[in-house]
Structure 1
Amino acid sequence: MNASTALRQGWQKVFGTGARSERPIAPDTTHGTILYLEDITVSFDGFKALNALTLYVDAGELRCIIGPNGAGKTTMMDVITGKTRPDAGSAWFGQTIDLLTLTEPQIAEAGIGRKFQKPTVFEQHTVLENLELAAAGNKSIWATLFSPLTAVQRDRIDHVLETVRLQDRRDTRAGVLSHGQKQWLEIGMLLMQDAQMLLVDEPVAGMTPQEVERTAELLLSLEGQHSVVVVEHDMNFVRSIARKVTVLHEGHVLAEGTMDQVQNDAKVVEVYLGE
């Protein structure tokens, strides 16, 4: 596989395939809620991965989603991002954007970004080039890399570099970054795409204690400016960032509340925290 093919495949994995369409209208969050999942059901060979799941996330909220393996966390994110179509139910981004009518690239352009557990960055390119590619829009990959940045683009990149604390790594090849730094770079790439909602899957798996602490600070700093949904198994980390926690079990919401409330819920202790 040559370098251009590898880069193209990496681009498609992060940003989707096909032509980038016109960005849908911004989500209407005048009611305070940015994500509406109602009665979402997804079945695989008779197994209900999601079973009439209903979940609401407010604009600017930092929400943690926990639950045992098989609870439906990944399937929920697949529905939100258009990877999986539900058998029943509705999914809205704000008051006006019906997620079930959009493709994966259209959902990304509408303002929903997803960070997988394993970082997906362009390892042969620098931190700066990764951020440039994320902000490319309709420009081609090579035109992006070899075109001069505008003042507005430079300012935005500087702001994102500061947010993810990679200012001193801007000219470093992404492949030599630590695991935690790659995770932060990928979050920075979502910020460069103007993602209003970030879906973050197990962000601290494999991190050092120092990286875990920095990741908590980063996600908390995004609260209010972005809606952030964090799926995580590390309960100490969840406690360090959680405002509101949703517990999934067998494809539906088992409990919801503060970390103390869900930890003291007898049903939660029985099916998850007490394991």
Structure 2
Amino acid sequence: MEQLDKFRELMRRDRVFDFMMPDQMPAVDVSHEVLLYVEGLTVSFDGFKALNDLNLYIDDGELRCLIGANGAGKTTLMDVITGKTQPYSGMAYFGQTHNLLNKNESDIATLGIGRKFQKPTVFEQHTVFENLELSLRMSKAILASIFYRMSSEQSDRIAEVLDIIGLSKQSNQLAGALSHGQKQWLEIGMLLVSDPRLLLVDEPVAGMTPQETEHTAELLTSLAGERTVVVVEHDMAFVRSIAKKVTVLHQGSVLAEGNMDEIQNNPDVIEVYLGESQ
């Protein structure tokens, strides 16, 4: 009986073992207030330069919008930042010390960089809550998975994220039954529960209703400050509603940067996108 009691104590549901805990997220040096440094990036595919000596600097805590025509280099840039594509030349640093070009996709995610693709990818046969639980930052080792028990802190974190993304009432609903906009918010939530420092969000309002678009604008705006958010989007009305600073890419390079009024009145932007000069 004594041994049984000891075993029950060892395996109680609120116990979290050291080997089950995730690795600590590495510290990021933002002493110069810049979180992401991209300099001289060049990526070539069969002679086509998807990125052409691109320079970009994103401040810690800012919300930056990237715009540009198809083929301007937006997706390729995010591919490089997340380790999916290696550039021909250039550098990309996360803070002062983390060289992203020396790390694989998993290592980069561990640093605190999360990416949301245009098409939402959720586990449709699982509930909203279960989707968030599966995305928690935790050890994925075999023993950790066998003995996994959700802690009260993890449960509280999921509840907090559900409130942030506006899906608390849908917590027990299957993800497959959500609307398109709700699936987009759920995927953002799946990134948030892993506590990323930088969020890369690709066309978040494509296919949304006006009401869903408005909620998404409020959501992304609320995340900036505590986190850094980079949004790729073609909907200029949406960009205007959220952006303090916009970067325009053209043929793999930065064409212009500034607030939305400055961008819309920039002669180079007008000439490239409207086919006229000012």
Distance (whole Å) between structure 1 residues aligned to residue 146 and residue 274 of structure 2: 48
Task: Report sequence identity in percent.
Answer: 65
Using the size of structure 2 for normalisation, the TM-score is 0.87
Q: Which runs of 4+ in 1 moved over 3 A?
A: 21-24, 139-148
Deviations 1:183-211 (A, max 9, x none): 00111111111111000000000000000
Unaligned stretches of 5+ residues in structure 2: 1-21
Partner of residue 46, structure 1: 47
- Shift, 1:25, TM fit: 1.9
Deviations 1:117-163 (A, max 9, x none): 00011111111111111005223699769954211111111111111
Distance (whole Å) between structure 2 residues aligned to residue 85 and residue 258 of structure 1: 31
Q: CA distance change for structure 1 residues 174 and 143 in 2, over 3 Å: closer, same or farther?
A: farther
Confirm whether residue 112 of structure 1 aligns to residue 74 of structure 2.
no
Q: CA distance change for structure 1 residues 142 and 166 in 2, over 3 Å: closer, same or farther?
A: farther
Q: CA distance change for structure 1 residues 144 and 192 in 2, over 3 Å: closer, same or farther?
A: farther
Unaligned stretches of 5+ residues in structure 1: 1-20
Partner of residue 16, structure 1: none
Confirm whether residue 162 of structure 1 aligns to residue 163 of structure 2.
yes
- The one-letter amino acid paired with 1:159 is E
- Shift, 1:274, TM fit: 5.7
Partner of residue 4, structure 1: none
Partner of residue 188, structure 1: 189
Q: CA distance change for structure 1 residues 219 and 145 in 2, over 3 Å: closer, same or farther?
A: farther
Partner of residue 8, structure 1: none
Distance (whole Å) between structure 1 residues aligned to residue 108 and residue 31 of structure 2: 20
Distance (whole Å) between structure 1 residues aligned to residue 173 and residue 235 of structure 2: 30
Q: CA distance change for structure 1 residues 126 and 145 in 2, over 3 Å: closer, same or farther?
A: farther
Deviations 1:201-256 (A, max 9, x none): 00000000000000000000001011000000000000000100000000000000
Using the size of structure 1 for normalisation, the TM-score is 0.88
Distance (whole Å) between structure 1 residues aligned to residue 205 and residue 37 of structure 2: 27
Distance (whole Å) between structure 2 residues aligned to residue 23 and residue 44 of structure 1: 37
- Shift, 1:50, TM fit: 0.3
Distance (whole Å) between structure 2 residues aligned to residue 84 and residue 198 of structure 1: 18
Distance (whole Å) between structure 2 residues aligned to residue 237 and residue 78 of structure 1: 23
Q: CA distance change for structure 1 residues 195 and 141 in 2, over 3 Å: closer, same or farther?
A: farther
* 8 A Cα contact 1:136 1:144, kept in partner: no
Greater radius of gyration (CA):
2
* 8 A Cα contact 1:220 1:241, kept in partner: yes
